[in-house]
Amino acid sequence: MAKILELLKFLPGLIAAVMALVKSFEVPENGEAKKAAVLAVVALMIDTLSTIITLPIEKAKVLDFVGKAIDAIVAFLNAVNIFKKGTANPT
């Protein structure tokens, strides 16, 4: 139960960071390259954090989750027209 509570504290911050990274890397086209860039930044964040604290989840599981989260976030942002095909991020 304690591990679940640790994960619940960890994941909202991770999702917020992924959302910010997805928006900051947004330029037209090259979706897979952008996803790879976000995953690389998250991997670096995990490596850095793991030198300071013991993370409640394995790096591979985090990266798998983040990959799925990126797909969901991009799909949502496309659906609400925040990301428009052929244009840069408006924010």
Scanning the chain, the segments in alpha helix (DSSP H) are 2-24, 31-50, 59-79
Among candidates 61, 63, 66, 65, which has minimal Cα distance to 18?
Answer: 66
Across the chain, which distance is largest between two alpha carbons, in Å? 46
pTM of structure? 0.70
pLDDT tens digits in sequence order for the chain, 91 residues long: 566 676 667 777 878 888 888 778 777 777 888 889 889 998 998 899 889 988 778 899 989 988 998 898 888 878 887 766 655 544 4
Neighbour-count burial for 51-83, b at 16+ CB within 10 Å, e otherwise: eeeeebeeeeebeebbbebbeebbeebeeeeeb
